[in-house]
Chains A and B, each alone.
Chain A
């Protein structure tokens, strides 16, 4: 039976406030704030702990609870979106203390998650503000970056406490301590390498140390480098593509593909874009595209069937399949060429408006002639365009009957758009005049049967156009 193992990051978490490395200033501030709580309600009922990852923000809250005998009520990023969770915490926060229960600290961990790509979750921030206003217990929030505009209401209500990035020697110190505690033979150079790589993130440094130690029970520089060099690093897209192309083995190509935070679809676009720039022999290029096209077939199967376990075939084909394609000119893939951002992605965003316009024209015509947008695009629009490029009069009439907007007319005619738009204006005026004339004859009927101003006017315009067109035809 295996002994259940506690990860070192938890096993070696500091238990007391005094054990924290290099955060003396933060610790002093926290202590002062907690003392205020112990003697009544402080001016600011919340504290916002901010600083780089692995600097001890969350650990310090746990140590605080232990030292002052608070009960910890914790909430994570994933909970913020659920109203009942926020309410549950708010309820706990609003009660000062039970008869037998200890006081509580409310921890809202990693609130960065609330600042979404499309703007912060305003509802959740509002809920937290309300929680802070009603709480009778200390509320602590943590964030890597608290300066997002959306966090302003939270900043206003909080004592701001900064956590410093740990220095390399701080990290080294902790690593040495763990090595001693674990009775590990630790090569100083290896620890140096791990500390360097962590960039002040103690959590990742401890995780790395544990990973290296797990391998052979000793920590040498060689093992550390082998194991850690490739891990965790996020490369720029063009670097990843280059490394994928340069791969010689399947495992290598796959591993290289993990060093990006691009999703597989976007990575495929990057590969597709730069493939013909890297590989010049036509047969090699075709073999590479065969691999890419087959990867895409698996991707289609995933989309349709939802079987995500096919993803590995997508990855293998689009990385290794492509990297191993050059046979006629195997050296070509090591050439240094300048890579480009996927033209297709750029084109898609550049043409977004024009495409929307095109599709809405197709929608209007499709509704009129009982055909799908795709059919209109393929079979009808090309002819309409020819009319719009060649016959201002006919184009203007069609524009009026389909009720096209000026941008739509411009889409349909490059050269004659201005003339058509001018003619449309003239025609509309004439139509209105015509409508008024025919209206005066039927005024009584109109008055009796008028349903609404709007539909009446639409009716006029229609009958106006009808009789107008008849006139111009004859």
Chain B
């Protein structure tokens, strides 16, 4: 079927197609040879090929109709451990493929599960170990509880190198018949921080603007990243709390950004050179931003936590005279 999203179209289908992560691939191929595997935990930053490798592994293990034997779940989308339990139970009941004595359960973003849910997951892993193996995917392995880690073979995915990313991008350009200049590809690597998914998204979008040039790459990233975060920070610093809060609400409600995403972007903006604050104030702010991020997880309403941060910014804006851009017309 025609696949028009490049991230999917050019996703490696087999382990042989995976060009980086050699360590991981070698070990996984051993499991395929033995037709047996322990539970697996794939850990590493976004866009390093964890999900891709999991699918390629299943493909090499079962053949092209591997999807019959792979249950794909996403901890962020499933509503609670009970839903996961029901699905796993249902899946484990049906027959296993002839030559492999188990089926695979892929649980993406499993580090988003609470510790309690992970305890329940651990029991599930034990209960159905005869008929299934779990592949857990996580950005932060430290957020996976110890007893689960100890039951899994842990695979660490390393950030992709510049050569890997640029090489892949230029291969895609060739396949698509798109003209792209090397500087542009390097710029994409710089902006994507080794995240292949992001890199390919930028590439496809830049190509859709006409050509993959350095200026188009910057244009894409500028368009795709809401400028509202920076605007919100500046508005709060200028003392207009209500307006800043309105921007926050539009980011959360209309864009659907989570509080954690927003606070991480705020942190990035504040430590960047774009916002002119004295260095010691940046340190003070870093402490408070961290506190708010912690409370976001503990609290019930993300907006109220971020409102407190905006109010703090207004205090700082008033103290550090000259930082706050004067409001026009008042």
List residues of chain A with CB under 8 Å of any chain B CB: 265, 268, 272, 276-277, 282-283, 285-286, 288-290, 292-293, 296-297, 299-303, 343-344, 347-348, 351, 354-355, 358-359, 362-363, 365-366, 368-375, 377-380, 382-383, 385-387, 389-391, 394-395, 397-398, 401-402, 462, 465-466, 468-469, 473
Contact = CB atoms under 8 A, between A and B. Distances in A.
B1 A387 contact: no
B220 interface: yes
A466 B1 contact: yes
Interface residues of B, number: 61
A365 B307 CA distance: 32
Interface string B55-87: 100000000000000001011110000000000
Given A303-B300, A366-B74, A380-B201, A398 B5 contact: yes
Nearest to A343: B249
Nearest to A397: B4
Given A369-B7, A370-B55, A386-B205, A292 B223 contact: no
Given A354-B254, A383-B224, A365 B299 contact: no
A296 B300 CA distance: 6
A344 B312 contact: no
B220 A383 contact: yes
B255 A377 contact: yes
A300 B220 contact: no
Given A369-B8, A382-B224, A390 B209 contact: yes
A286 B314 contact: yes
Given A272-B307, A386-B223, 16 more contacts: A276-B242, A282-B314, A285-B241, A293-B304, A296-B301, A297-B298, A370-B51, A372-B109, A373-B76, A380-B197, A385-B223, A386-B220, A394-B208, A401-B5, A402-B4, A402-B5
Question: Which of A268, A375, A473 is the most central at the interface, judged by chain B CB atoms within 10 Å of its CB?
Answer: A375
A368 B93 CA distance: 26
A473 B177 contact: yes
25 contacts: A268-B304, A276-B311, A282-B239, A282-B311, A282-B317, A286-B312, A289-B312, A293-B308, A296-B295, A297-B298, A343-B249, A347-B249, A351-B254, A368-B5, A371-B74, A373-B77, A379-B197, A380-B7, A382-B223, A386-B223, A387-B205, A391-B209, A397-B2, A465-B2, A473-B177
Contacts of B220: 383, 386
A327 to B, nearest CB: 13
B315 interface: yes
A379 B201 contact: yes
A385 B249 CA distance: 20
Contacts of A302: 300
B36 to A, nearest CB: 25
Nearest to A286: B311
A379 B242 CA distance: 28
Interface in B1-39: 1-5, 7-8
B299 A387 contact: no
A276 B253 CA distance: 20
Label chain B's interface by main secondary structure: helix
A8 to B, nearest CB: 42
Contacts of B304: 268, 272, 289, 292-293, 296
A15 B8 CA distance: 81
B308 A369 contact: no
A382 B245 CA distance: 22
A390 B206 CA distance: 10
The 6 lowest CB-CB distance pairs between A and B, nearest first, are A372-B76, A382-B224, A293-B308, A286-B311, A391-B208, A300-B299
Given A276-B242, A292-B308, A377 B300 contact: no
A285 B308 CA distance: 9
B224 A386 contact: yes
A40 B60 CA distance: 85
B261 interface: yes
A401 B108 contact: no
A344 B251 CA distance: 12
A410 to B, nearest CB: 15
Contacts of A300: 298-300
B318 interface: yes
A299 B8 CA distance: 41
Interface string B223-237: 111100000000000
A286 B295 CA distance: 16
